[in-house]
Amino acid sequence: MTPLAPLYLLAAFAVAGPILFHLWRRTPRGRREFSTLMFLSPSPPRVTSRSRVEHWLLLLLRASVLCLLALAFARPLWRTATSGQEKPANEELIAILVDTSASLRREGAWAELQNRLEERLSQLPAAATVALYHFNEQWSADAAFAELKRLPVEERREVVKSRLAELKPGWRGTNLGEALVRTASALQETQAEQAIPARLRIILASDLQSGSKLDALNGFEWPSDLRLELLIADAKSTSNAGLQLVERNLDAGDDVLRVRISNAANSKKEQFSLAWSGDNSTALSVYVPPGQSRMVIPSKRPSDVTVTSLRLKGDDDDFDNTVHIAPTREESRLVVYCGTDAADDSNGPRFYLEGLFGAAQRYQIHVRSWREALTASKADRPALVVLVEPEADAADFVKAHLAQGGTVLIASGTASAASESLKQCGLTDLDVTEATVKRDAMLGDIDFEHPLFAPFAESQFSDFTGIRFWKHRLLGGFSAETATGPHQGKVLARYDDKTPAFVEFKQDRGRVWFLTGGWHPADSQLARSSKFPPLLFRILEQAAGDNVRAESLPVGSEIVWRLPGMEATAQGAVQTPNGAVQSVAVNAPFNQTDSPGLYTMQAEGRTDTVAVNLAAAESQTAQLPLDQLEALGVRMGATESPEDLRRVRERERQLQIEELEHVQKLWRWGILAAIVFLLIETWVAGRRPTANV
For the segment 379-431, what is each residue's pLDDT rounded down to a tens digit? Answer: 678 889 999 998 888 899 999 999 888 899 999 999 999 999 999 999 888 88
Please compute the mean of the pLDDT values over residues 555-579 and round it to a whole number. Answer: 85
Distances (CA, A) of 127 to 124, 161, 193, 229: 9, 16, 17, 19
Higher-confidence position of 379 and 226: 226
Report the pLDDT value the prediction gives residue 676, as an integer from 0 to 100: 85
Superfamily of domain 92-227+624-641: von Willebrand factor, type A domain (3.40.50.410)
Asked if the domains 92-227+624-641 and 332-544 are classified in one and the same CATH topology, the answer is yes
What band does 532 get if pLDDT is binned at 50, 70 and 90? very high
* Residue 281 clears pLDDT 80, i.e. is over it: no
Please compute the mean of the pLDDT values over residues 577-605 and round it to a whole number.
Answer: 90
Consecutive H or E run containing 442: strand 441-446
pLDDT at 689: 54
pLDDT for the residue 375: 76
| Percent of the residues in the chain that have a pLDDT greater than 90, as a whole number | 44
Q: Please report, for the chain, the start and end positions of each structural domain, with discontinuous segments joined by +.
A: 1-26+50-78+666-693, 92-227+624-641, 241-326, 332-544, 556-613
Task: Answer whether 0.85 is exceeded by the pTM.
Answer: no
Mean pLDDT calculated for residue range 28-41: 64
pLDDT of residue 221: 93
- The pLDDT confidence band at residue 179, using thresholds 50, 70 and 90, is very high
**What strand order describes the sheet that includes 309-313?**
284-287, 271-276, 309-313, 322-324
| For residue 34, pLDDT beyond 70 | no
pLDDT confidence tier of residue 49, bands split at 50, 70 and 90 = very low
In this predicted structure, the answer to whether residue 657 has a pLDDT above a threshold of 50 is yes
pLDDT band at 453 (very low <50, low <70, confident <90, very high): very high
Question: How much is the pLDDT for 570?
Answer: 85
Assign 53 a pLDDT band (cuts: 50, 70, 90). Answer: low
Task: Give the per-residue pLDDT at 269.
Answer: 92
pLDDT at residue 222 above 90? yes
User: Is it the case that residue 172 has pLDDT exceeding 90?
Assistant: yes
Q: What are the pLDDT digits (tens) for 1-25?
A: 667 667 766 776 777 777 776 666 5
Q: Is the confidence at residue 321, as pLDDT, over 80? A: yes
Query: Quick one: average pLDDT of 148-159?
Result: 92
Segment 56-63 shows an average pLDDT of 76
The mean pLDDT value for 67-72 works out to: 76
Q: Please tell me the distance from the alpha carbon of residue 17 to that of residue 674, in angstroms, as a whole number.
A: 17
- Give the other-Cβ count within 10 Å of 250's Cβ: 14
What's the alpha-carbon Rg for the chain, to the nearest Å?
41
Order of all β-strands in the sheet with 139-143:
139-143, 129-135, 92-99, 199-206, 226-232
- Confidence bin at 377 (pLDDT 50/70/90): low
With contact defined as beta carbons under 8 Å apart, do 505 and 511 qualify?
yes
pLDDT at 183 over 60: yes
CATH number for the region 241-326 comes to: 2.60.40
pLDDT tops 70 at residue 528 = yes
Kindly report which listed range (83-92, 105-114, 237-246, 636-645) carries the lowest average pLDDT score.
83-92
**pLDDT surpassing 50 at residue 86:** no
Counting Cα atoms < 13 Å in the Cβ hemisphere of 530 gives 8
pLDDT higher than 60, residue 90: no
DSSP collapsed to 3 states, 270-295: CEEEEEECCCCCCCEEEECCCCCEEE
Query: Residue 87 has what pLDDT?
Result: 44
Q: Which of 346, 512, 521 is CA-nearest to residue 424?
A: 512
pLDDT digits (tens, 9 = 90+) for 602-628: 988 788 899 999 999 999 999 999 999
Looking at per-residue pLDDT, the higher value among 243 and 373 belongs to 243
What percent of the chain lies above the pLDDT cut of 70? 83
Q: What is the mean pLDDT of residues 504-523?
A: 91
Report the range of poorest mean pLDDT among 82-91, 236-245, 340-349, 582-591: 82-91
The pLDDT mean for the chain works out to: 84
Report DSSP state, residue 468.
E
Residue of 240, 245, 239, 241 lying closest to 296 (CA atoms) = 245
Band (pLDDT 50/70/90 cuts) for residue 690 is low
Burial zone of 616 (CB within 10 Å; 0-12 exposed, 13-18 middle, 19+ buried): buried
Q: Which of 228-232, 436-440, 576-580 is the least confident region?
A: 436-440
How much is the pLDDT for 83? Answer: 43
Whether the Cβ atoms of residue 203 and residue 94 lie closer than 8 Å to each other: yes
Q: Is the pLDDT of residue 27 over 80?
A: no
Question: At 85, is the pLDDT very low, low, confident or very high (cuts 50, 70, 90)?
Answer: very low
C-alpha to C-alpha distance for 300 and 307, rounded to whole angstroms: 11
Superfamily of chain region 332-544:
Class I glutamine amidotransferase (GATase) domain (3.40.50.880)
| Residue 625 neighbours by CB under 8 Å, 6+ apart | 210
pLDDT class for 459, splitting at 50, 70, 90? confident
What pLDDT, on the 0 to 100 scale, is given for residue 649? Answer: 65
DSSP 517-557: S-SSTTTBSGGGSTTHHHHHHHHHHHHHTPPP--SEEETTP
Q: How far apart are the C-alpha atoms of 405 and 400, rounded to whole Å?
A: 9
